[in-house]
Amino acid sequence: MGIGLGVALLLLASCVPTARHHRDERIHNRIDINLDDRVITPSRSTVLLSEIDTVFRGREIRGRMLEPEGPAAPLPPGVTRFPRPGEMVVSPALRKLLAAPGSDLLRERLDHPITGEVADRGLVGPGEYAFYLGGEHMADGVAGARRLDHFGKAYPAKPLDPELALLSIVGMVVLLAPVAVFIAAAVRFGGEHRDRRLAALRLVGADRRMTARIAAGETLVSALLGVALGAVLFLFGRQFIGLMDIPGLSVFTEDLSPQPVLAALTVVGVVVLSLAVTRLAMNGVVVEPLGVVRKSGGATRRLWWRIAVPVLGLLLLRTSARGGSDLRSATSVILIVVGMLALLVGVTAILPWILEQLTRVSGGFGPLSWQLAVRRLQLSSEASTRSVNGIVVAVAGAVALQTLFTGIAHGQNGGSGAARNSSTPSTHIGVASLDDDKGYRDRYASVFSATPGVQQAIGYAELSVSGSDDDFPQTVRVAGCGQLTLLASLPGCTDGDAFVVTPRNSPSSADTTVWKSGSTMRLDMKGPLWKVPHITATVEARSSDPQGAFPEKMLLATPRAAGSSTMADAVSTISIRYSTSSEDIQDRLRTAAARLDPSFTVDFPTQAKGDMALDGIRRDLLAGVTAVLLLIAASLLLGTIEQLRDRKRVLAVLVTFGTPRRTLIHSILWQTALPVATGLLVAGVVGTALGSALLGLIGRTAVYDWNSMLAIAGIGAAASVAVTVLTLPTLWRSSHPENIRFE
């Protein structure tokens, strides 16, 4: 059973390349951007499309508005026909979300009749939220619309950044190493029973070589049965994979197809590992005709080689790569993997020695349950640490991953986790924008102002201008004097004025913008030429400006100063200051924007944004670590039950002579908790050292997230309590006086 659980998880891991390939293929097939920069003219085989993505309570929803320009217009993957204007086709997950209680704001936002569902081939995964809305009167280049003559684009794979490549390597090792430790422990389940059987065979004439072959044969049969059971568990479990509800991570059942080479390696690796563990275990056991002698008592474990293994791993990590570019080298990857394995496996070698020293100094005093537990650990410390080793390796790897994640994220945020904020901590900003030339900015602003929780909404037209093709684009905001007064401290304002705004509390040396009256600039990089109006004055941005301090000098212009011809290239923008104390305020703002126009986009600049690739790897590894910890918890449970079975005669004698079962329960709790607590402490030290060494490979400084590390340790501690509770029925049966009978 133990081998079957491990094989099922390994087969799941062997599906990752196939699942990723299918996922990437679906993403490529639905790309809706003209990456060739071709000029696509309207025809009967073209379609107009605009992005109308949205977010609801942290869930990202992919949205597209479609309008076919002819009967042969291309359909997006997974859509059988174009929705009529005002109708939409949704993914199954989005249909469920719309129907769920508490989704009133989303139903109000997407208040369109649903006429169909997006098929699997048009979705990244079964849990993706996506919809296609039928549009009308769309125009190329207006409100973000673009013309397409086909969907899909194939392009060569982009190599991962060194940081993400390192995360992927570390993740694979962290996820697979505990599984190998678990399988090695599972091979020894029932080892004491097997040794007694071999002693009986010696009594009827088998020699030592024959007993060794018999032990190998039993292990081989168990391993093959475990592989078969693992395959059955995998095939059964994959049917429910589509029901997983992990944000941003979902796969179709068809995606979980193990690669043949990896599946074959799994079978061969499990069999070889099982035979090797059995052979090594037999070295410490002498099977004689009249009993079994184990080389466990009297000899003190040597420490030097146990420390040498993790130290060797640290040295390999330090010398495996000199920079991020070396992480793409096969030699560096092999050295990193070997170094990590040496460090993580070294934990399993150090733990028995530490536990031996603890039990040596802590025995002989304390309550009876403690003394029973310590004495049992002294007699069979290897059996006690065998199951705990998996938790230790998993926790050490998880701590290393957490340290690596924290260091990378800290470096990407520039050492600051705080987002820009223009005022009080309870006030944040939002920016709603619509690429149109209707001039309804004042009406838009009044709608947002009426939204509960909004403190201020300022409407203006925003232009992007540049002096030449090589210049960095600069910003012009066009609005009436009333709105401009809210953006900057103006000495006075009449229609026809223009003002250069300097940032507040920003060094002038970082500003490279130059505004000169009468100079010629180009609108929107490739648009018409535009002449800078007469600059009335240079003013300072207001601290109350919802966008905070301007990053560079920008130009504020009244409509007459900007010129009426420039409005065709302007983007209607609403700067919104809102209070975070209002419930669902961000979703209310997105709903208000969608009700005005589905093409409205709402952004929150002060809200920290993570790296999409980093977040994707984080989600994948979180799911993997969760699966591994569940597997290790099963290992701990099986190991404890095995020990209770082996000790049922002793337990029955203790109960018969008056030992309370409560004492035995406490003894089992101590017997489980002491190795787990010791292992978690060692895992924390080793995991922190491993994470720091990995960050050194990419030139990052270690930053520790102690709360997350304590949470990981808490999971391991909870496992020991849960295992004790689950073993109570077995303890009750094992301690029954009938178990004293022996033949």
In order, the DSSP letters of 226-258 are HHHHHHHHHHHHGGGGGG--BTTB---GGG---
Q: Are residues 616 and 511 in the same domain?
A: no
Higher pLDDT among residues 19 and 642, named by residue: 19
pLDDT at 191: 67
pLDDT at 642 over 80: no
pLDDT at 102 over 70: yes
Last residue of a domain, one of 148, 182, 216: 148
Helices (H), 188-329: 191-203, 208-237, 260-283, 304-320
pLDDT at 268 over 80: yes
Question: How far is Cα 181 from Cα 186, in angstroms, rounded to an integer?
Answer: 9
Dihedral, CA of residue 316, residue 317, residue 320 and residue 325, to nearest 10: 180
Q: Are residues 438 and 401 in the same domain?
A: no
Within a domain: residue 456?
A: yes
Residues 6+ apart with CB under 8 A from 407: 691, 695, 700, 701, 702, 703
Query: What pLDDT, in 10s, does the model give residues 103-131?
Result: 999 999 999 999 999 999 999 888 899 99
What is residue 302's DSSP assignment?
P
Burial of 39 (0-12, 13-18, 19+ CB in 10 A): exposed
pLDDT at 248: 57
Last residue of a domain, one of 603, 636, 657: 603
Mean pLDDT in residue range 586-597: 91
pLDDT at 721: 75
pLDDT at 415: 46
Residues 6+ apart with CB under 8 A from 360: 378
Question: How far is Cα 43 from Cα 315, in angstroms, rounded to an integer?
Answer: 65
> In which domain, by residue range, is 182 found?
159-414+611-740
Higher pLDDT among residues 637 and 558, named by residue: 558
Within a domain: residue 495?
A: yes
pLDDT at 419: 42
Within a domain: residue 10?
A: no
Mean pLDDT in residue range 61-65: 95
3-state secondary structure 94-157: HHHHHHCCCCHHHHHHCCCCEEEECCHHHCCCCCCEEEEEECCCCCCCCCCCEEECCCCCCCCC
pLDDT at 608 over 60: no
Please give the mean pLDDT across all residues of the chain: 81
Last residue of a domain, one of 603, 620, 638: 603
Q: Are residues 354 and 495 in the same domain?
A: no
Question: Token pair of 446, please?
Answer: 């009044």
Within a domain: residue 454?
A: yes
Residue corresponding to tokens 């934990």: 347
pLDDT at 423: 44
Q: What percent of the chain has pLDDT over 70?
A: 80
Higher pLDDT among residues 671 and 54, named by residue: 54
pLDDT at 152 over 90: no
pLDDT at 247 over 70: no
Mean pLDDT in residue range 463-482: 82
Question: Token pair of 527, please?
Answer: 């648009």
Specify the amino acid at residue 457.
A
Is residue 85 within 8 Å of 134, Cβ to Cβ? yes
Lowest mean pLDDT among 96-100, 187-191, 384-388, 543-547: 543-547
Q: Are residues 508 and 632 in the same domain?
A: no
Q: Are residues 399 and 331 in the same domain?
A: yes
Question: How far is Cα 313 from Cα 194, in angstroms, rounded to an integer?
Answer: 35
Using 50, 70 and 90 to split pLDDT, how confident is the model at 292?
A: low
Query: What pLDDT, in 10s, does the model give residues 661-690?
Result: 889 888 888 887 888 888 888 888 888 888
Q: Are residues 371 and 235 in the same domain?
A: yes
Q: Are residues 301 and 232 in the same domain?
A: yes
Using 50, 70 and 90 to split pLDDT, how confident is the model at 242?
A: low
Q: Does residue 217 sit in helix, strand or coil?
A: helix
pLDDT at 246: 57
Looking at the DSSP assignment, which residues form a beta bridge with residue 556?
477, 499
Query: What pLDDT, in 10s, does the model give residues 301-338?
Result: 777 888 888 888 888 887 776 665 666 677 777 888 88
pLDDT at 297 over 60: no
Within a domain: residue 23?
A: no
pLDDT at 214: 87
pLDDT at 323: 60
pLDDT at 19 over 70: yes
pLDDT at 119: 94
Is residue 590 within 8 Å of 453, Cβ to Cβ? no
Higher pLDDT among residues 213 and 526, named by residue: 213
Higher pLDDT among residues 294 and 276, named by residue: 276
Question: How far is Cα 295 from Cα 235, in angstroms, rounded to an integer?
Answer: 42
Lowest mean pLDDT among 93-102, 217-226, 433-442, 551-560: 433-442
pLDDT at 225 over 90: yes
CA dist 480 → 442, 485, 550 (Å): 10, 9, 19
Higher pLDDT among residues 438 and 156, named by residue: 438
Q: Are residues 320 and 193 in the same domain?
A: yes
Report the range out of 2-6, 172-176, 181-185, 498-502 with the highest average pLDDT: 498-502
The CB density around residue 340, as the number of other CB atoms within 10 Å, is 26
**368-379 vs 330-362: helix crossing angle, rounded to 10:** 130
Is residue 414 within 8 Å of 402, Cβ to Cβ? no
pLDDT at 478: 92
Using 50, 70 and 90 to split pLDDT, how confident is the model at 70?
A: very high
Is the four-CA dihedral 509, 515, 520, 526 of positive or negative sign? positive
Within a domain: residue 66?
A: yes
Within a domain: residue 17?
A: no
Q: Are residues 598 and 616 in the same domain?
A: no
Lowest mean pLDDT among 78-82, 188-192, 684-688: 188-192
pLDDT at 243: 67
pLDDT at 422: 43
Report the range out of 14-28, 276-290, 723-737 with the highest average pLDDT: 14-28
Residues 6+ apart with CB under 8 A from 269: none
Using 50, 70 and 90 to split pLDDT, how confident is the model at 712?
A: low
Q: Are residues 637 and 721 in the same domain?
A: yes
Higher pLDDT among residues 165 and 149, named by residue: 149
Q: What percent of the chain has pLDDT over 90?
A: 20
Report the range out of 183-192, 453-462, 511-520, 631-640 with the highest average pLDDT: 453-462
pLDDT at 187: 76
Number of domains the chain is built from: 3
Within a domain: residue 153?
A: no
Phi/psi at 96 (nearest 5 deg)? -65, -40
Is residue 46 within 8 Å of 149, Cβ to Cβ? yes
pLDDT at 111: 93
Residue corresponding to tokens 């926790």: 395
Q: Are residues 360 and 461 in the same domain?
A: no
Question: How far is Cα 662 from Cα 670, in angstroms, rounded to an integer?
Answer: 12
Query: What pLDDT, in 10s, does the model give residues 483-529?
Result: 899 888 899 899 999 999 887 765 554 556 778 888 888 887 777 88
Question: How far is Cα 670 from Cα 687, in angstroms, rounded to an integer?
Answer: 25
Q: Are residues 393 and 433 in the same domain?
A: no
